[in-house]
Structure 1
Amino acid sequence: MTVRTTVLVVTWRGRAHVGRCLDALAGQSRPLRTVVVDNASADGTAELLAGHPSRPDVLRMPANLGYAGGLAAALPDVHTEFVAWLNDDAAPEPGWLAALENALDADPAAAAVGSALLPPEGGPPALGVRLTALGYGADTSEEAEVFGFCGGAALLRRQALLAVGGVPAGFFCYYEDTDTAWRLRLAGWTVRPEPAARAAHVLGASTRPGSPSFHLWNERNRLLMLLRCAPAAVAGRELARFAAITLLLPVRRLARRPVPAAANFRVGLRLRVLGAVAVRLPRALRDRGRIGRRATVPRNEIWHTFAR
């Protein structure tokens, strides 16, 4: 059978789990090419990859480029019809790739199809990402609410991805998937879930959700995504709201009013977010212009259709 899909697996210090991911890919019912991007791991990951019986192609990075940076670095080496994004802590079931390829074959209007990600503790699978009224991307188990795909396990049409600008490498990690869904929808494509494409997923094996770094990347990239893709009024409102909350937090503490304990309500971290956005603002606005020129669907139409 013809290989139609290149699966990109990005790993960083993934020795403890990337082997299970590669075992699962070796057991797929459809042929595929596997490319592992090793983000300068120093924990024995390189040796594990070299000795794995599936013999994946390996791109060894000189530094940790993050998930988004790793995907972007590997994309020029992909020449198949489809490209899959897969976390190194995900283990797809044997029919995963077949279900994803069949879904794109059945829906020519779809540029990306997301998987059913099965949490280790049980419960309903995440089928994709919904768009909240504040411009956050949030996991959803409801097919009807899917705005975008979860980048932990998804299949995209390579040419569609390239036509909308590829992967935003500067995001490092988080929101590269929701940003890509925005750009695909602006270009007239749709995104759909495929519940039959199932993959077990250990969320945050490398990045510790809830940590200061997680919140820094999460908040920074949400704002950058909105500046690049969302209606101007929404992007401006959310940037102003983030700054206003940052300024009001010390006042609340002085008044002994309650402040959430989460790291994204620490003033120092929020100032770092604002500084990072300010540094990247000229690039984000240039990207916004390019994205707008490619768009065939108005930003406001997408926002009012999906933001809840």
Structure 2
Amino acid sequence: MPTSAPPPGAVTTVVVVTWRGADHVTDCLDGLAAQDRPHRTLVVDNASDDGTAALLARHPSRPRVIRLRRNAGYAGGLAAALAHVETPLVAWLNDDAVPAPGWLGALEDTLAGDARLGAVGSVLRLPDGSVQSAGVRLTADGHGADATALPPEHRPFGFCGGAVLLRTETLRRVGGVPADFFCYYEDTDTAWRLRLAGSDIAVCPDAVVSHRHGASSRPGSPLFHRWNERNRLLMLLRCAPAAVAARELARFATLTAVLTLRRARRAGPAVPEAANFRVSLRCRVLADVAARLASTLRQRAEVRRGSVRSRGDVWRRWAGQ
């Protein structure tokens, strides 16, 4: 597809990744069209087969569209888009999120006001008005968890990737987006790498989006748990202190073995019904991690070469906060 120049005055490309988004992507694009700042909209269509392509072609905002031949997931779509971003800033926006009119302006102003910031996250609200995410915290066992209240000084560990603004060259410098994650934890992994490279992260309380959480995926499904568990372990292997990564991988493997014995003997406490306690799923996660271990360790070395902060310093500052 030929390259088209961003609109005059635009400093941001907003990337929207969609897959079978026919019932909600129009609302997202309408919200972007109502923004009070010029910007470029770049939609990555993950081989949708539900009429999404026709909706994108008809939308009056005329977004640039990259149509992939297969579904590369949210992470893969973001990674594919990055090569086409020509503006100094890039925003990620879920296709089931609708930004308030001042959303982009609030993010741009916050980033412009502090050169130390590599990324500024948004406040994502559910349709009932409750807060889904006001940044991401790092738990004591290395999970990324949405904060539902603004953190002190509006400085969380990380951001929710459903609505965030980043410096384009900073993102490229820290390695871009982990396309192999497919979906989930690409945002927390990116926050880790930004912090290791010396960047700070903020959340802007005036940058608000309404999010139909789960419209594009199925939280709680077996695939959700597989990606979630696998990508947390891969993120830790790439970014966390070695002792933390080894500990959490060992814990996951040990619990898998315990669940296997418990089910075989039908002894001990009842096993929860949630999909992430299924032995078959957990074995699949371990197999996925093992298959990617060599490449992940190479990526770990690349992260280290781009770091100005130690993994231990970042972990001690943010884990369990």
- With structure 2 as the length reference, what TM-score do the two structures score? 0.94
Structure 1, 193-202 or 118-127: larger mean CA deviation:
118-127
Matching of residues 105-124 of structure 1 within 5 Å: 105-124=112-131
Q: CA RMSD in A?
A: 0.9
Structure 1, 160-169 or 120-129: larger mean CA deviation:
120-129
Match of 1:134 in 2: 141
Aligned counterparts of 1:280 and 1:198: Cα–Cα separation in 2: 37
Aligned counterparts of 2:94 and 2:292: Cα–Cα separation in 1: 26
Q: Which amino acid aligns with 1:102?
A: D
Match of 2:281 in 1: 269
Match of 2:21 in 1: 14
Matching of residues 152-163 of structure 1 within 5 Å: 152-163=162-173
Which whole-Å deviations, capped at 9, do the CAs of 1:98-146 have from their partners, x for residues lacking one? 0000000111100000001011133235211100001000000232371
Alignment: residue pair count? 308
Match of 2:49 in 1: 42
Aligned counterparts of 2:281 and 2:215: Cα–Cα separation in 1: 22
Which whole-Å deviations, capped at 9, do the CAs of 1:64-85 have from their partners, x for residues lacking one? 0000000100111101010000
Q: Which runs of 5+ in 1 are unaligned?
A: none
1:88 aligns with 2:98: no
Aligned counterparts of 1:206 and 1:189: Cα–Cα separation in 2: 30
Structure 1, 63-72 or 198-207: larger mean CA deviation:
198-207
Q: Choose which of 292, 298, 301 in structure 1 pairs with 2:310.
A: 298
Q: Which amino acid aligns with 1:157?
A: R
Match of 1:68 in 2: 75
SS at structure 1 position matched to 2:133:
coil
Which whole-Å deviations, capped at 9, do the CAs of 1:194-223 have from their partners, x for residues lacking one? 010000001121211000000000000000
- With structure 1 as the length reference, what TM-score do the two structures score? 0.98
Offset, 1:252: 2.6
Q: Choose which of 50, 53, 61 in structure 2 pairs with 1:54.
A: 61
Aligned counterparts of 2:223 and 2:128: Cα–Cα separation in 1: 24
1:30 aligns with 2:30: no
1:199 aligns with 2:206: no
SS at structure 2 position matched to 1:77:
coil
Aligned counterparts of 1:190 and 1:66: Cα–Cα separation in 2: 27
Match of 1:150 in 2: 160
Percentage of pairs with the same residue = 62
Match of 1:224 in 2: 234
Partners of 2:150 and 2:205 within 8 A in 1: no
Offset, 1:270: 0.1
Match of 1:178 in 2: 188
Which whole-Å deviations, capped at 9, do the CAs of 1:163-207 have from their partners, x for residues lacking one? 000000000010000000000000000111001000000112121
Aligned counterparts of 1:55 and 1:247: Cα–Cα separation in 2: 53
Aligned counterparts of 1:222 and 1:142: Cα–Cα separation in 2: 24
Aligned counterparts of 2:38 and 2:110: Cα–Cα separation in 1: 16
SS at structure 2 position matched to 1:115:
strand
Aligned counterparts of 1:90 and 1:167: Cα–Cα separation in 2: 20
Moved over 3 A (4+): none
Q: Which runs of 5+ in 2 are unaligned?
A: 1-7
Q: Which amino acid aligns with 1:18?
A: V
Match of 2:292 in 1: 280
Q: Which amino acid aligns with 1:76?
A: A
Offset, 1:260: 1.4
Aligned counterparts of 2:307 and 2:107: Cα–Cα separation in 1: 26
Structure 1, 134-143 or 275-284: larger mean CA deviation:
134-143
Q: Which amino acid aligns with 2:9?
A: T
Q: Choose which of 251, 273, 279 in structure 2 pairs with 1:241.
A: 251
Aligned counterparts of 1:133 and 1:240: Cα–Cα separation in 2: 15
Q: Choose which of 271, 276, 282 in structure 2 pairs with 1:259.
A: 271
Aligned counterparts of 2:296 and 2:219: Cα–Cα separation in 1: 25
SS at structure 2 position matched to 1:147:
coil
Aligned counterparts of 1:47 and 1:124: Cα–Cα separation in 2: 33
Q: Which amino acid aligns with 1:298?
A: S
